[in-house]
Structure 1
Amino acid sequence: MDFPVISADSHVTEPPNTYIDYADPDFRDRAPRLAEEEEGVAFDIEGMGKFRIAVAAGAGIPPEQRTERLKNMSDLHRSGWDSRYRLEDQKKDGVAAEIIYPTVGMILCNHPDIDFKVGCFNAYNRWIAEYCAFAPNHLLGVGQTAMRAPQEGIRDIEAIKAAGLRGVMMPGVPGVEDYDSPIYDDFWAAAVENDVPLAFHILAVGGHEFKYRGEKVNIFSMVLRGVQDVIGMMIFGGVFERHPKLKIVCVEGDAGWLPHWGHRLDRAYVEHRHHLGSRGLTKMPSEYFFENIYFTFQDDPIAFRCADMMNWKRLMWANDFPHSDATWPHSQKILEEQTRCVTEEQKRAILCENAADLYKIDLTVFDKAIAV
């Protein structure tokens, strides 16, 4: 490839001091703390129990070996919390830059105590800004808001942007009403005015009632439902009708399902729009779906095969490092195989230019030695 590859969804593994040393003083006694136990390293979270992070740091390790090999923080990918090591891991995967999301922070999005979330996210935003400052062209952090109230969310957008972070990660459930309510119009307008993308990440949109049926592995298939619910609510609630320049990112939800789901949205509107009352839309739902929303995916060959059936200028590839679902360190081999069905223009857009445009990444800063 003759262009730098950008991962639109990568992660950190928050270190033990994230929610303590970077927290407001009155929150530190309640902050999540690391617990290194025989079963593996975990964060002890008030009101949620223990979140074991080994599975969230298993990139490149065979599934059957993760439990035994990931016992302590020292066993995890060091670049997950120490950015001095991150660029080397990027080079191993042929990646020039990453949009960085949290790991523990994803789970915290579903915490039932919104004041607790505020304390955690204030600390995380300070820590991730410091982590990314080591290599700001290669590490582009996304801050978090608890969305306790619309006006507080606006202040979070402004603070996150001022800290040099490139986007705002949203919890699935806000503190007041829901996202289709007109009370959030000022918040959406602020996101547009500040030109800051807002992200809904799988596993972080289920509220505190996140459940699955049957075997635990079923979570892998059902996580799409949470982001689909948010997207559908915003489309049919007229959010994009009122804010046509709003940019939402659906993170790690894959993309092969988009053509069919866009059709489902339109069929629902044609057959059942009387349920909307007088709040009709001036466009078909799929038009908002394919224009206002960006989608990240990693190992999803169907997304490339169906690129012409959707707006491929809204697709962004990702490696998900250092999570266990990551394509690292084999991303280049996977991409070589999966991108054979798209044009060079589409390939460059999906692997580089779409993310660069959305997050204002200056591609001229990357040395050709990094572009693989």
Structure 2
Amino acid sequence: MSPRIISADCHVNEPPHVFDRVPAQYRDRTPRIMRGTDGGDGWSFDGKPPKRTYGVEAMAGRAKDEHVASGMRFEDILPGNYDGAAHVADMDLDGVDVSVVYPANAVFTYQAADRGLAQACMAAYNDWILDEFQAADPARIVGLPMLPVDDGIAAATTELDRVLAAGAKAAFLPGNPVRPYHDPYYTDLWAAAAANGVPLTYHRTFGGKPQESDWDNIADNNFSAAGTVHRFFSSTRQLTYMALGGVFERHPGLRLVVGEVNFGWLPFWAQTADEQFENQHSMGTLSVTRPPSGCLGEQVFVTVLDDRVGFDLVRSGAYPYLAEAAMFSTDYPHSVCLWPNTRKIADELTRGLDAADAEAILSGNAARVYGV
């Protein structure tokens, strides 16, 4: 039997009332759940029928062979998508102790042209995820409020202070910010997160305007096999520039979690980044003083699903940092989610692992980073 399990990457599907708390001046323009042309329900951000309706992002409880890409209605999805108490009940069915919960459609507020409306919607979401969803069992749910990093760092740090006062244990960043995360623009945010001892996290390409390579998914909200594969490798640019740009060295208390990217690729990334560090450090062209791999398991973490390549690499013992950098996850309620078979799959993945490594991946790393 596997030890305690913390899922470091789960999601909500926001309920219809999630934006009800916005100020009166925005209420006639808030995003709404509407019926789509395929008969399913989805979120509309422009008053028109949604481009996509519920499907792959709400598959928990559906047979895997149904292949529901879209066309589901709100009443078809499990209450654990939007109700905290029901979410905990689904965790109990799955043998999961703690769930770290990312937003879903609310991330499209990062793309909204009306930034006043966008910030009001973010604040409303943050109030809902903390005051309703997480509040159902604060010891077992870690809600991730969104920070408006594209609206000035003062706005982001002010919102961070506000949500921390409301009980947040961490905060969410967009995967595609207007300015890259190695930009000095973020200095005050990194310092604030480090000073408060709270981790920050982004999830693949969730949130923000699209990179060209991910246009199909983010701009048109399409589901594609190619986009899904690409997003497992989407964090390499951010991490490389942050590590070699000195972000982690300048802010030793900063902890960053990258959601749903797995870890089988990490050794090659670490090897390549360390080689360039050695090459250019000897030339005196770098300001950093330690190889990028040194941040893995100390400041940088990744969430993993059933990445059998990654678990085989841990078993090999060749890359000790892998077990310290990985946080297990179920991805409830998405189509690839392990629910309700997480215990069985965790036992299979960790078979033959050193007990300390298994414990670190399944719960220990998330426990120490998120303080749960």
Q: Report if the CA contact (8 A) 1:10-1:318 is conserved.
A: yes
User: Which of structures 1 and 2 has the larger relative contact order (alpha carbons within 8 angstroms, sep 6+)?
Assistant: 1
Q: Tell me, in whole angstroms, the C-alpha distance in 2 between the residues paired with 1:223 and 1:351.
A: 23
Q: Equivalent residues in 2 for 1:1-372 (5 A)?
A: 1=1, 3-19=3-19, 21-39=20-38, 40-46=40-46, 50-67=51-68, 71-111=72-112, 114-129=115-130, 130-147=132-149, 148-174=151-177, 177-204=179-206, 207-209=209-211, 210-211=214-215, 216-271=224-279, 278-307=285-314, 308=317, 309-311=319-321, 312-361=323-372
Letter in 2 for 1:27: Y
| Unpaired segments ≥5 residues, structure 2 | 218-222
Count of residue pairs brought into register by the alignment: 358
Q: Report if the CA contact (8 A) 1:249-1:294 is conserved.
A: yes
Q: Report if the CA contact (8 A) 2:297-2:324 is conserved.
A: no
Cα RMSD (Å): 2.6
Distance 1:289 1:205, change over 3 A: farther
Q: Report if the CA contact (8 A) 1:313-1:350 is conserved.
A: yes
Letter in 2 for 1:46: D
SS of 1:18's equivalent? coil
Q: Report if the CA contact (8 A) 1:98-1:140 is conserved.
A: yes
Q: Report if the CA contact (8 A) 1:197-1:249 is conserved.
A: yes
Letter in 2 for 1:122: A
Q: Report if the CA contact (8 A) 1:172-1:207 is conserved.
A: no
Distance 1:50 1:116, change over 3 A: farther
SS of 1:34's equivalent? strand
Alpha-carbon distance, 1:25 to partner: 2.4
Q: Tell me, in whole angstroms, the C-alpha distance in 1 between the residues paired with 2:225 and 2:2.
A: 38
Letter in 2 for 1:17: H
Letter in 1 for 2:289: T
Letter in 2 for 1:183: Y
- Deviation string 1:314-343 (CA, Å, 9 cap, x unpaired) is 211010111112111111111111101311
Alpha-carbon distance, 1:155 to partner: 1.0
Q: Tell me, in whole angstroms, the C-alpha distance in 2 between the residues paired with 1:323 and 1:142.
A: 17
Alpha-carbon distance, 1:162 to partner: 1.2
Q: Tell me, in whole angstroms, the C-alpha distance in 2 between the residues paired with 1:333 and 1:72.
A: 30
Q: Tell me, in whole angstroms, the C-alpha distance in 1 between the residues paired with 2:161 and 2:148.
A: 14
TM-score normalised by L of structure 2: 0.88
Aligned residues with identical type, % of pairs:
30
Letter in 2 for 1:203: T
Q: Report if the CA contact (8 A) 2:280-2:286 is conserved.
A: no
Q: Tell me, in whole angstroms, the C-alpha distance in 2 between the residues paired with 1:272 and 1:105.
A: 41
Letter in 1 for 2:303: T
- Deviation string 1:34-54 (CA, Å, 9 cap, x unpaired) is 012352211001399534232
Distance 1:206 1:127, change over 3 A: closer
TM-score normalised by L of structure 1: 0.88
Q: Tell me, in whole angstroms, the C-alpha distance in 1 between the residues paired with 2:291 and 2:98.
A: 35
Q: Report if the CA contact (8 A) 1:254-1:295 is conserved.
A: yes
Q: Report if the CA contact (8 A) 1:234-1:240 is conserved.
A: yes
Q: Tell me, in whole angstroms, the C-alpha distance in 2 between the residues paired with 1:273 and 1:207.
A: 34
Q: Tell me, in whole angstroms, the C-alpha distance in 1 between the residues paired with 2:348 and 2:164.
A: 37
SS of 2:198's equivalent? coil
